[in-house]
Amino acid sequence: MAELILEVKNLVRTFGRRRAIDDISFTLERGSVLGLVGQNGAGKTTLIKHILGLLRAENGSVRVFGLDPVADPPGVLSRIGYLSEEGDLPLWMKVEELVRYSAAFYPGWDPKYAEELQKQFGLSSDSKLGALSKGQRARAGLLCALAFKPELLLLDEPSSGLDPVVRRDILSAVIRTIADEGRTVLFSSHLLAEVEQVSDRVIMIDGGRIVLNDDLSNIKEAYFRIDIRFEANQEVPPTLPGSIHWEGKGKDWTVIWAGDQSALTSAVCALKGRILTNRGVSLDEIFVAYAGGCTQ
In the complex, the residues that contact ligand ATP under the rule CB under 6 A are 15, 18, 20, 38, 40-46
Minimum distance, C-beta of residue 117 to ligand ATP, in the bound complex (Å): 26
**Least CB distance from residue 49 to ligand ATP, whole Å?**
8
CB of 81 to ligand ATP, least distance (A): 19
Q: Report the 10 Å Cβ neighbour count for 287.
A: 25
User: Is the CB of 18 or the CB of 274 nearer to ligand ATP?
Assistant: 18
Which phi and psi angles does 287 have, rounded to 5°? -60, -45
* Ordered alpha helix ranges (H), 17-163: 44-51, 73-77, 95-105, 111-120, 134-146
Yes or no: say if 289 and 245 are a contact pair by the CB < 8 Å rule: yes
- For ligand ATP, the closer CB: 143 or 204: 204
CA 151 – CA 91 distance, rounded (Å): 27
Closest distance to ligand ATP from the beta carbon of 13 (Å): 8
Residue 61 bridge partners (DSSP): 9
Helix (H) or strand (E) holding 229: strand 223-234
**Minimum Å distance from CB 167 to ligand ATP?**
16
Kindly state the smallest distance separating residue 203's Cβ from ligand ATP, in Å.
12
Nearer to ligand ATP, 32 or 46 (CB): 46
* Least separation in angstroms between CB 42 and ligand ATP: 4
Q: How far is CA 107 from the centre of its chain?
A: 28
Residues 203-206: contacts with CB within 8 Å, 24+ apart? 203/26, 203/34, 203/35, 203/36, 203/37, 204/37, 204/38, 204/286, 204/287, 204/290, 204/291, 205/24, 205/36, 205/37, 205/38, 205/42, 205/43, 205/44, 205/47, 206/38, 206/39, 206/42, 206/290, 206/291
Q: Which is nearer to ligand ATP, 78 or 213 (CB)?
A: 213
Output 15 or 101, the one with its CB closest to ligand ATP.
15
Whichever of 18 and 128 has its CB closer to ligand ATP, that residue is 18
Taking the least distance from each CB to ligand ATP, the nearer of 78 and 160 is 160
Judged by CB, which is closer to ligand ATP: 35, or 38?
A: 38
* 248 vs 227: CA distance, rounded Å: 9
CA-wise closest residue to 24 among 39, 9, 41? 9
- Amino acid at residue number 99: V
For the bound state, the minimum distance from the C-beta of residue 294 to ligand ATP, rounded and expressed in Å, comes to 12
CA distance 228 to 64: 46
